[in-house]
Amino acid sequence: MSFPRSSRLWWRDAVTYQIYIRSFADGNGDGKGDIQGIRSRLKYLKNLGIDAIWITPWYPSPQKDHGYDVADYLDIEPDYGTLSEAELMINEAHQLGIKVIIDIVPNHSSDQHKWFIQAVNSDPGSKARDRYIFRDGRGNYGEIPPNNWHSVFGGSAWQRIIEKDGRPGQWYLHLFAVEQPDFNWDNQEVHEYFEKVLRFWLDRGVDGFRIDVAHGMVKAPGLPDIEENLSSEMLAARRLPFWDQDGVHEIYRNWRRILNSYPGDRMAVAEAWVSPASRIALYLRPDELANSFNFDFLTSIWDIQDLKRNIDLSLQAIQSVGAPASWVFNNHDVVRSVDRFALGLRPGVGETTFDRHGDVSKLNLEIGIRRARSGALLMLALPGGAYIYQGEELALPEVRDIPEDRLEDPRWFLSEKTDKGRDGCRVPLPWSANESGSFGFSINEKLGKENSWLPQPNWWGNYSAENQEHDPNSTLNLYRKALEIRKTEIGLGDGELEWFNMSDQVLAFKRPGNFACIVNFGEAFKIPNGEVLIASTSIEDGILPEDGALWMRLA
């Protein structure tokens, strides 16, 4: 795909910044992020040099899974603002040349969605129940769940309801929290509803959607049991009857027709935890979504073979359908890469807190930060688009010592408090070094670091945007400079990549224009002749230290 950038669709090259709205910036002083907060930081994002923002669910929600339990898809959570404020924000972002992607959650709603309330209050077999997945239980009294599926967060994936007559009755499916009932995508009304939801937001100017659990909506006919001892993790080792069923593709072909009926190259990106890469390619077909997070990349450890293999597999897979790659190292569901790269953790893999979060006593943040900075240069030089999760540009580590009585992730509760879950990567951002407030997160100066929705650690201010602003070597300035180079360097973004061999501990590739990206996983070594454009670390006498990376123009 080597046509010039100006003639490429914007999303083939875009660098998108993920805003976890609850933790980004608090503009009304209640300790939770909001739309006002986003508006106040648009200039920062513009300065950072990103092309688009993706905002996690901002709909009215009981917040059992922080917005991923949607009670009304056509409005804004009152704690976050109003619909007119959202429209204002979309316009302001557009004026700054920033595209806006919102999250859509079609696999499940909140149990407070009006349809689910109706379903519970209606009879078995009714039209209202058919919008969700209700079944009779097994056993003499229907006391055994309809099948053996587990929830991703822990425990059974079924919850029994009390019928109108006061007796225990049918069960409903919830692949996630109990308060997140799965929709029945065999029901035409569900299809029509989501088509309406898409149009509602497209009419308000959004440029695209991030589709939550995009591989989950369709379940295998008959809801067959899974083999005992298989877990329901999102990135399953095997195809399970609730992940990656072929029927999902028909839904996306319809959605593509809707996106295409609007001007301005509206896009969608799938959260499809699907492996191998060849299965992802199906979601990327031109008449479907065209974009999907590259979770093989995200689940790589800091290891040259692992990363290279995953990059190769991804590039091969997307080539077959002509889609751009979407690289990602971080999001609101996984341990931050600073910690992962230091500890050799694979996110999303592992059954317990220990597997997922690793051994704190072995954590060397200096190494983690060094690798995360190199990872940034690697990711931003690869062909295609990339996603940055808020705070990644500050090299924020995971917060590992949130007091247990402050944890809010449903994974913590559903795992019976054996898995601390994902709150450690969701702590409200440190904007300033001001320890007496909430490090600039809230406009309410009196709020204090303990009183945001998740408490901030004492050391949070060291990583603040303010502290990094004037330090030319800060991670924030590394991202800014890399993104600036990326804008003008003709070989970056979508296009070709050519590996070249330096040593088995050096990952090196060329992009058009004599551009090279070099990442060193082994001992310090002498770089080739040419001009260094940017480096993750200081280069003396042409020596690139271990865990360092750079971009250069080869002589």
- Using only C-alpha atoms, the chain has a radius of gyration, in whole angstroms, of 23
CA of 376: how far to CAs of 48, 200, 262, 500, in Å?
Answer: 14, 35, 34, 20
Minimum gap (Å) between residue 66 Cβ and ligand GLC: 7
**Position closest to ligand GLC via CB:** 68
CA distances from 516 to 304, 505, 551 (A): 17, 16, 6
Closest approach of Cβ 203 to ligand GLC, in Å? 25
Which of the 8 DSSP states describes residue 260?
A: H
312 is catalytic: no
Segment 471 to 500, residues that bind ligand GLC, using CB under 6 A: none
Identify any residues that bridge with 331 across adjacent strands, giving them in sequence order.
none
Which residue among the candidates 26, 111, 271, 339 is catalytic per the annotation?
271
In the complex, minimum distance from the CB of residue 23 to ligand GLC, in angstroms, rounded to a whole number? 13
Min dist CB 333 to ligand GLC, Å, is 5
67 vs 455 by CB, closer to ligand GLC? 67
Q: What letter represents residue 178's amino acid? A: V
How far apart (Å, rounded) are the C-alpha atoms in residues 268 and 275? 19
Residue 287 neighbours by CB distance under 10 Å: 11
271 as an active site residue: the answer is yes
Closest approach of Cβ 452 to ligand GLC, in Å?
Answer: 19
Mask 71-110, x = binds ligand GLC (CB under 6 A)?
Answer: ----------------------------------x-----
Q: CA dist 437 to 110, 223, 465, Å?
A: 34, 51, 15
Exposed, middle or buried, 308 (CB in 10 Å: 0-12/13-18/19+)?
middle
Residue 269's H or E segment, with its range, is strand 267-270
- Count of residues binding ligand GLC (CB under 6 A)? 9
Which listed residue (24, 134, 176, 521) binds ligand GLC by CB under 6 A?
A: 176
The nearer residue to ligand GLC, 111 or 333, going by C-beta atoms, is 333
- Residues between 265 and 284 with contacts to ligand GLC, criterion CB under 6 A: 271
Give me the catalytic one of 103, 111, 212, 333.
212
User: Hey, which residues between 304 and 343 contact ligand GLC (CB under 6 A)?
Assistant: 332-333
Interacting positions 218-247 with ligand GLC (CB under 6 A): none
Q: What is the DSSP string of 493-534?
A: SSS--EE--SBTTEEEEEETTTEEEEEE-SS-EEPPSEEEEE
Choice between 99 and 210, CB closer to ligand GLC: 210
> Smallest distance, Å, CB 173 to ligand GLC?
14
Contact between 212 and ligand GLC by CB under 6 A: the answer reads yes
Distance of alpha carbon 267 from alpha carbon 100, whole angstroms: 10
Cβ closer to ligand GLC: 105 or 236? 105
Among candidate residues 292, 259, 258, 266, the one with its CA nearest the CA of residue 277: 292
Window 30-69: contact mask with ligand GLC (x via CB under 6 A): -----------------------------------x--x-
Q: How many CB atoms lie within 10 A of CB 350?
A: 16
Query: Smallest gap, in angstroms, from Cβ of residue 403 to ligand GLC?
Result: 22
Under 8 Å between Cβ of 185 and 217: yes
Q: Closer to ligand GLC at the Cβ: 105 or 284?
A: 105
Catalytic center residues: 212, 271
Residues at the contact surface with ligand GLC, assessed by CB under 6 A: 65, 68, 105, 176, 212-213, 271, 332-333
